[in-house]
Amino acid sequence: MSQKKNPVVAVVGATGAVGREMLSTLHARNFPAAEIIPFASARSAGTKVPFGDQELTVRELKEDVFAGIDLALFSAGGSTSEKFAPHAAAAGCVVVDNSSAWRMDDRCPLVVPEVNPDALEQHNGIIANPNCSTIQMVVALKPLHDAACITRVVVSTYQAVSGTGHKAIAELETQVRQLFNMQEPDIKVYPYQIAFNCLPHIDVFLDNDYTKEEMKMVNETVKIMGDPGIKVTATCVRVPVFYGHSEAVNIETKRKLSPKEARAILAQAPGVKVLDNPAEKIYPMPLDAAGEDLTFVGRIREDETIANGLNLWVVADNIRKGAALNAVQIAEELMARDLLRVKDTTVFMTK
């Protein structure tokens, strides 16, 4: 039997909040890489990033760096992905992209390994990692959809600042310190103070008055679940939490599902842990989810205003399952299915 070569792996955006977590996840999961190469902007070239006990030297991302690289995990923003991912694919390097740039492109599968791993079979070199809030929601909803057919989802999110990147983490920290010292808080990343506040505004506002983040949840859910019959409406809110997104999710189903049945289904679902015992004050919280890989579901109860409805509370680490871990799980699935190659390197030459 021929021995397969381990891939050379690039992490693009390696100095950022998600990039660092990608490196740590690759290391923690013992990803079989021949070499791991961190890339970031010219600003960071030559700096070091941790990889287990080692330090790796960051290289500047350029269009021609992908020759000889088999797999690239991108988390450097949409414009960087739009510009560089096609060059990677053209060089035969498979991209798993964490930005929103390619998610709704028909040429790109949008994948959550617990939900739609088969979509990877059709990849053309760029695979999109969904939005963090969408990932944890579909992990919880897919088994319920399979059991009872979800027709409508109403979701409200409570999203941590780490979803905006390392500058937002620093901004919340700084604002808290400034306010405790009776100073005016510096407001740079968000339009308003985030410390001790909630902002119903994530990403930009669109013509329909929803935010882009809200419409990502609407459109990405349908693409991942592969069912346009699921209607989703969302309100996305940034809250002063460092790590861990929480979601209040209301679902309507064709078949009636009791909370007990839903709990039993979710207890068997891949990637899910049910934490639901109100009498003992047991429910998921972002402080507990931070640093964990699973999606936690609790507060499962009947929506008593409709015939077939349930309310759920879903919490996950947005940097891990919502970003870095999901990307690494996609890479692992590509390896397991022997899909770490680009069949046609011309697919992304035009957009």
Catalytic residue ranges: 132, 245
Contact with ligand A2P (CB under 6 A) among 19, 86, 125, 163: 19
Smallest gap from Cβ 189 to ligand A2P, in A, equals 10
State whether the Cα torsion 302-217-117-72 is positive or negative: negative
Query: Which of these ranges, 14-22, 115-123, 246-254, 327-335, lies near ligand A2P under the rule CB under 6 A?
Result: 14-22
Shortest distance in whole angstroms from residue 55 CB to ligand A2P: 16
Number of residues that bind ligand A2P (CB under 6 A): 18
Whole-angstrom distance, CA of residue 69 vs CA of residue 95: 10
Q: Does 95 bind ligand A2P (CB under 6 A)?
A: no
Which string of b and e fits 22-48 if b means at least 16 CB within 10 Å? bbbbbbeeebebeebbbbbeeebeeee
Binds ligand A2P by CB under 6 A, chosen from 4, 43, 48, 256: 43
Q: Is 318 in the site for ligand A2P (CB under 6 A)?
A: no
Buried b (16+ CB within 10 A) or exposed e, 200-229: ebbbeeeeeebbebbbbbbbbbebbbeeee
Report the residue from 24, 44, 124, 193 that binds ligand A2P according to the rule CB under 6 A. Answer: 44
166 forms part of the interface with ligand A2P (CB under 6 A): yes
Please answer whether residues 350 and 164 qualify as being in contact, where contact means their C-beta atoms are separated by less than 8 angstroms: no
Question: In this structure, what DSSP letter does residue 322 have?
Answer: I
41 binds ligand A2P (CB under 6 A): yes
Rg (CA), the chain: 20
Q: Quick one: tokens of 217?
A: 């949840």
Binding to ligand A2P (CB under 6 A) within 49-78 occurs at 61, 76-77
Is residue 326 within the footprint of ligand A2P (CB under 6 A)?
no
Binding site for ligand A2P (CB under 6 A): 13-19, 40-41, 43-44, 61, 76-77, 80, 165-167
